[in-house]
Structure 1
Amino acid sequence: MKDAATPGVVSREEWERARADLLVREKEHTHAGDALAAARRRLPMTPMEPVTVAGASGPVTLRDVFEGRRMLLVYHFMWNRGAAHHKQCEGCTHSQAAMTAAVSAYLAERDVTYAVFSSGPFEELLAYRDFMGWGTPWYSTADSGPALATRDGGDLRCYLRTGDGVFQTYETKWRGIEAMLPTLQLLDLTPYGRQETWEDSPVTVQLDEAGSWWRRDGRPVAQWTRTDKSVE
């Protein structure tokens, strides 16, 4: 990075004019996002068939996962069955790392429960959650059937509980889950951005493939906050 290009240098007055011009576009982007969110809230919903997941207390219904709240937000964590901790998904680990107990508490204030589903065996999921120091409720969908199936994982889904029914209201994947990745949104504010090959960046900036930097020395980056044990 020492030889990277830098932004042009201008006076404070010139900088403030350029910043003011960009602010107009940022506000337009914010208002467009508000309109998109309004349209999202107007999507119809579709009923979920009865389905169970496996949690700390054994099999429970999808309705039970709501923990008495009206809404449920579920992240589907990609799982490599039988693999060691350092071989689990770096992308899903990155997504989950920001979902702290405090975030879940704020969601709960708006009547939303946050949970993680995965197709792995519950004992493996619990071991990984505890290794990472996370408190989020995790559930195994290994025996849940097709109703909760995703690609391999990485999907975010929303449900609503009303009367005796449970309904799916929304789902997203790929870059749609970036709301869970404040790391990326903060990097977007910096002069070099995410430093990934798809971005419009200064040509002399070292660029990496998208997501390739989420793993370091054989581990998802967040795992180095939990251990100093090296891996091959």
Structure 2
Amino acid sequence: MKELVIPKIVDRDEWERARAELLVREKMHTRAGDEIAAVRRRLPMTRMEVVTVVGPDGPVLLRDVFQGRRMLIVYHFMWSRGAPHDKQCEGCTHSQVAMNAAVCAYLAERDVTYAVFSAGPWSEIVAYRDFMGWTAPWYSTADSSEVLATRTGGDLRCYLRVNDEVFETYETKWRGIEAMLPTLQLLDMTAYGRQETWEDSPDGWPQDQAGSWWRRDGRPVAQWTRTNATIK
């Protein structure tokens, strides 16, 4: 078995000096994020055409997805039509794990509704949501206007409702959705980080391909909290 490489061992005083040096950079990073968020709040917005999605009560207008609130955050879940649960996207599954009822309740306190859209058929996507035990509202965009289309999924979009009109205010994808993945931020604080090959880590640190650990024994990792069924 390969010997595990570990960080340099120093006395407490040296460790605290190194930690203090890093803290200066961490505070700069936080303030830079605040500045970017300030610019984001000043973005213009663009009017959405009238568009419908399909939910538990059939087709509904996009403005009704707000559930009476002013703002809406939508995650677009990548879907493999007709595939069993274990074949659905491990990355999108990972992104939803932290979006529990408590998180959505806190968003609602700031007049924000969270919802998931997917290009899959309603019957398939609601079956997956229920299998995972998620409570956020999901909607199918399989028959919606192209204005709701994404590359394949994994995008995050924000909307504002003004009376009966809906405007898109922001969108992001790829690493831009990492705010939904607290697992990654927590791993960034550990000695070995995310343990992925793209990271700038010392020689000998454990690493494999990005996202390779999001699936285990044929299933997205989170599914093993819901079932013990083996893959056939």
Which residue is equivalent to 1:212?
212
Which residue is equivalent to 1:26?
26
Deviations 1:76-98 (A, max 9, x none): 00000000000000000000111
Deviations 1:102-159 (A, max 9, x none): 0000000000000000000000011000100001100000000201000000000000
Deviations 1:33-55 (A, max 9, x none): 00000000000000000000000
Question: Separation in 2 of the partners of 1:200 and 1:35?
Answer: 26
Question: Separation in 2 of the partners of 1:2 and 1:160?
Answer: 53
Q: Which runs of 5+ in 2 are unaligned?
A: none
Cα contact 2:71–2:113 (8 A) shared by 1: yes
Question: Separation in 2 of the partners of 1:187 and 1:15?
Answer: 20
- Give the residue type in structure 1 aligned to 2:179: A
Question: Separation in 2 of the partners of 1:163 and 1:84?
Answer: 40
Question: Separation in 1 of the partners of 2:206 and 2:128?
Answer: 33
Deviations 1:1-49 (A, max 9, x none): 9722111111111111111110000000000000000000000000000
- TM-score normalised by L of structure 2: 0.98
Alignment coverage as a number of residue pairs: 232
SS of residue matched to 1:27: helix
Cα contact 1:5–1:202 (8 A) shared by 2: no
- Give the residue type in structure 2 aligned to 1:215: R
Question: Separation in 2 of the partners of 1:213 and 1:167?
Answer: 37
Percent identity at matched positions?
A: 76
- Give the residue type in structure 1 aligned to 2:224: W
Cα contact 1:72–1:112 (8 A) shared by 2: yes
- Give the residue type in structure 1 aligned to 2:116: V
Aligned ranges 1:1-232 → 2 under 5 Å: 3-232=3-232
SS of residue matched to 1:54: strand
Cα contact 2:192–2:206 (8 A) shared by 1: no
Question: Separation in 1 of the partners of 2:2 and 2:117?
Answer: 42
- TM-score normalised by L of structure 1: 0.98
List, as ranges, runs of 4+ consecutive aligned residues in structure 1 with deviation greater than 3 Å: none
- Give the residue type in structure 2 aligned to 1:91: G
Q: CA RMSD in A?
A: 1.0
- Give the residue type in structure 2 aligned to 1:141: T
Deviations 1:143-194 (A, max 9, x none): 0020100000000000000122100000000000000000000000000000
SS of residue matched to 2:189: coil
Cα contact 1:3–1:204 (8 A) shared by 2: no
Cα contact 1:46–1:168 (8 A) shared by 2: yes
